[in-house]
Amino acid sequence: MNMAPISTQPSPLLFGCQCIGSVHKKIDPSEGLFGTVLNVFDRAVNIKTNNDKLLVVSLGQVASPLTMNIVPSPNSAARFSSFADLIQNGDHVFVARKSSSKDTGIIQIGLGSRFAILMNESVRVFENHILKTDLENLLEFFDYREHLLSVLRECATDRAGSLLNPDMTTKGLLLGFMNLIHDHAVGVKSYEFEDKLSRCLLEFCGRGPGFTPAGDDFISGVLTILNWIRLGLNLGTPIIPGSEYRKSTTWTSFKLMEYNARGLVDIEVQESINSIAEGDVLHYVDSIRQISKRGHTSGIDFMTGATIAIYLVLDGITQTK
């Protein structure tokens, strides 16, 4: 009798999806090949989907429109130590509906052959709920420029390479930007402002240390807040990084800048934006301290850009009155 060979391939570790970001809420279970793994870290994986979107698979609890927040199943938790032990850059990502009748409504997402995520089609979806900016509340920040700058500098103390604590790759970038902006002041509602700011920010793109370069995180912070204020106060359309930015940095970092510029941010950044909308300076300071802990320099550079954007608008408004 011919015996079928016994498979020595271990079953994949199973994880459950707790929350899915709004950008990916319509994953088609009949899709098959879904994308490719681009970057693998201990607690997160970046995926480039077939339709050129960024999906971040994360063990963290911070929800965002781009993120799938997952937890290991009880049987897998003891065997798991790091995504890097199971997944490699370039692994294919497949999507399929679970075949078992008792699992109707369950989508399985496989990253390579050793890792799979089970997602119920009724899983919680995270969508942004960002308040509209109000000029009166924005003006509450007018007299706190130096205080916020001192908080940012304090948070940058142990973030070498950040724009406020520069190394050779970032030295002079922030000072040069501020001097150029202030020496050639134009109204924040003008095309000249958009054009000058876009050219100035392009100088930051791809510059600095970290997986997402410090300059890119700064750009994200500036455009997240600036575009939100411009829309709320009817000061112009959003400024979105274009192909010239894409040529200067990695695909992942570019997509993060693009999403942030369009107002797609994680829940902690959303809270910082809403604190500005409410004129709550103390809450905003708390956000600076919290977000600045992210990554090597990512958080502090993002919040540096966000804070500068507040005063770009305030200076522009008050100078034209």
Q: How far apart are alpha carbons 99 and 113 in whole angstroms?
A: 17
10-residue stretch averages of pLDDT, the chain, 321 residues long: 49 93 89 93 96 96 97 89 94 86 78 94 95 95 96 96 91 83 63 83 90 95 96 92 94 97 98 98 98 95 96 80 52
| CB 119 within 8 Å of CB 27 | yes
pLDDT at res. 99: 66
pLDDT at res. 3: 46
Token pair belonging to 37: 């793994």
pLDDT at res. 186: 57
DSSP secondary structure letters along 66-92: TEEEEEE-HHHHTT-S-GGGT--TT-E
pLDDT at res. 148: 97
pLDDT at res. 1: 45
Q: How far apart are alpha carbons 195 and 293 in whole angstroms?
A: 32
Model pTM greater than 0.85? yes
- DSSP-derived letter for residue 133 is P
How many helices and strands (H and E) does the chain possess?
A: 11, 9
pLDDT at res. 173: 87
Domains and CATH numbers, the chain: 13-126 (2.40.50), 135-319 (no CATH)
